[in-house]
Amino acid sequence: MNSFALLADPVRRRIVEVLAEGERPAGRVGEVIRAEFGVGQPAVSNQLRVLREAEVIESLPAGSRRIYRLVPGALDDVTAWIDRYARLWPQRLDALETELARGARPKRA
């Protein structure tokens, strides 16, 4: 599954957002997702498995717990795609500002 398809699911996208803040125990990730989406633990575990199999996140043993974290560079294709289009935004915003300024001028009769 490509990165865009992975992130299309709101639960998986939120898991990535949570883990972007830093590594978390599986239980903490599950708490956040269950609270926000009202899904059960099996659904959370399934989404974690999908992200692990896609190598977007990894699971590290910590005693009897599992710690999850993002795999560095796993979403570089998404970042590259966004960067390619983000460079166009300032130009387009400048053009929009110009057009809005023209529209704000009083019309001549």
**What pLDDT is recorded for position 105?**
64
Helix 10-20 / helix 41-53 crossing angle, nearest 10 deg: 70
Q: What string of H, E and C letters represents the secondary structure of 10-48?
A: HHHHHHHHHHHCCCEEHHHHHHHHHHHHCCCHHHHHHHH
CATH topology of domain 3-104: Arc Repressor Mutant, subunit A (1.10.10)
Whether 25 has a pLDDT exceeding 90, the answer reads yes
Domain edges within the chain: 3-104
Q: Which residue, 71, 24, 1, 32, is CA-closest to 11? A: 32
d(CA 24, CA 66): 9
* 57: confidence class by pLDDT, cuts 50, 70, 90: very high
